[in-house]
Amino acid sequence: MPTIEQLRSKISKLQSQADALIAKKMQAAVDQIRQIMLEHGLTTEDIEAKAKARRNAKAVKGSAPKTPLKTRRKAGGSLPGKSAPKYLHPKTGATWTGHGRAPAWIAQVKDRTKFLIADGAAAADAASDTAASQPGAARKNAKAKSLASNRAGVKKAVKKVVAKKSVAKKTAASNKTAPSKKAARKRAMKTIAASGATAK
Q: How far apart are CA 163 and CA 157, in angstroms?
A: 10
At 6, is the pLDDT very low, low, confident or very high (cuts 50, 70, 90)?
Answer: very high
Of 98, 93, 88, which Cα lies nearest the Cα of 128?
A: 98
Q: For 163-188, what is each residue's pLDDT tens digit?
A: 776 666 666 656 554 456 677 777 77
The C-alpha atoms of residue 2 and residue 7 are separated, in whole angstroms, by 7
The distance in angstroms from the start CA to the end CA of the chain is 80
Per-residue pLDDT band for 23 (boundaries 50, 70, 90) equals: very high
Determine, yes or no, domain membership for 121: yes
- Report yes or no: 159 and 153 within 8 Å, Cβ to Cβ: no
Which pLDDT does position 172 carry in this prediction?
61
Is 164 part of any domain?
Answer: yes
Could you report the per-residue pLDDT of 97-133, keeping only the tens digit for each? Answer: 888 888 888 888 888 888 888 754 444 454 454 445 4
Q: Report whether 196 contacts 92 (CB < 8 A).
A: yes
Average pLDDT over residues 36-49: 88
- The answer, as to whether pTM is greater than 0.75, is no
In a domain, 134, yes or no: yes
The pLDDT assigned to 47 comes to 86
**pLDDT for 123-160, tens place per residue?**
445 445 444 544 555 556 655 666 666 666 666 766 77
In a domain, 100, yes or no: yes
Instruction: Provide DSSP, 174-185.
Output: HHSPPSSHHHHH
Does residue 53 belong to any structural domain of this protein? no
- The answer to whether residue 182 sits within a structural domain is yes
Residue 156 counted as domain residue: yes
Total number of domains in the chain: 1
Domain that holds residue 169: 85-199
Q: Answer yes or no: is 135 within a domain.
A: yes
